[in-house]
Amino acid sequence: MINTTFYLRRLHSICGLLALGGMLMEHIFTNSMALGGSAVFNAALETMELIPKPIFLGIEVGLIAVPFLFHGIYGIYIALQAKNNTGSYGYARNWQFLLQRCTAWYLLVFLIWHVGYLRIFTKGISGTPISYELVQSYISNPIIFVLYIIAMFAAIFHFCNGITTFCMTWGIAKGPRIQCVIDKLCMLMALALCLVTVAYMGSYLL
């Protein structure tokens, strides 16, 4: 008999790693160009626009949207079944388990709004190109700024903690010692990415 849950969880794991990881890294890399000013940021966006639209759309749909939707929908199913026991067992991994679920719920709501507004409405329907000036005006609202930076921190933690989970799920990290090492390295990477995020977010306010 085929263990459907076994394969679905592994597909869920790899879709999250590739789709969320790819989107997150591209997002951080592109936005970090803002540290060089509007000209550098806009030039980076113009370079991306050189990709033929059918290919770019295929990448967005096939490599990002579809895997991300599967990861999100199946992730909701997993989260609804999860039993958080941080009250009884205050271990670090238990708290990380809880935070993985909390960040998932926050990101689900935020991304529906963020992608819907910027990618679909602003760029797709209104035809307004994304630019340094547009992003700057977008996050000049204090509420949006706070929601955005929380979302970035949530996405970074969710991805980096997900790497540890991925290594455990796929049998890459089989023992507690190597799992601990990978976890610490991933949290250090999360800290570094958060610092980059704070740096480029702050540059928009200057």
pLDDT of residue 109: 92
* This model's pTM is above 0.85: yes
pLDDT of residue 82: 66
* Residues lower than pLDDT 50 in the chain: 1, 88-90
The Cα–Cα gap between 180 and 43 comes to 41
CB 138 within 8 A of CB 144: yes
Sorted by where each begins, the domain ranges of the chain are 4-83+92-204
pLDDT of residue 86: 52
Structure tokens at 113: 């709004």
pLDDT of residue 200: 94
Smallest CA-to-CA distance from 8 within 73, 100, 56, 82 is with: 73
Q: How far apart are the first and last CA of the chain?
A: 60
pLDDT of residue 90: 47
| Residues 6 or more apart in contact with residue 199 via CB below 8 angstroms | 32, 35
pLDDT of residue 41: 93
Smallest CA-to-CA distance from 164 within 180, 152, 188 is with: 180
The Cα–Cα gap between 29 and 186 comes to 18
For the chain, the residue count is 206
Smallest CA-to-CA distance from 126 within 115, 138, 118, 134 is with: 118
pLDDT of residue 58: 86
